[in-house]
Amino acid sequence: MSLPPMVTDILKRVRHTPSLTGLNRKERRTVIRGAFDVTEPGRIKDRAILLIDDVCTTGATADACAKVLKKHRARRVDLLTLGRA
């Protein structure tokens, strides 16, 4: 059985955002909304995606990434995080 490919370039930041440090969950979600897009939508259509993040603070960035992946028809998006702040 072969493992699915690990892809590190499918998401891109399309808009600069200021630091999220010190912002609450609602403020973070507002700032990060629309900051990411998918580089090649055909590569994720009907695929299960695993997002990996080093630290999850409020989940706003992961949520924004998951939403854009789902918008481009990813079948499901899961999150693996190494730490929680």
Q: Which domain holds residue 30?
A: 11-15+23-84
Q: Report pLDDT digits (tens) over 15-54.
A: 999 999 999 999 999 999 999 999 999 999 999 999 999 9
Q: At 85, is the pLDDT very low, low, confident or very high (cuts 50, 70, 90)?
A: confident
Instruction: Indicate which CATH number applies to the domain containing 69.
Output: 3.40.50.2020
> What is the identity of the amino acid at 63?
D
Q: What is the pTM of this model?
A: 0.88
Taking 90 as the threshold, does the pLDDT of residue 5 lie above it?
A: no
Residue 6 located in a structural domain: no
One-character DSSP codes across the chain: -PPPPP-SSSEEE-S-----TT--HHHHHHHHTT-EEES-GGGTTT-EEEEEEEEESSSHHHHHHHHHHHHTT-SEEEEEEEEE-
Look at the chain and report how many structural domains it folds into: 1
pLDDT-based confidence at 84, cuts 50/70/90?
A: confident
Q: Is residue 1 pLDDT above 80, yes or no?
A: no
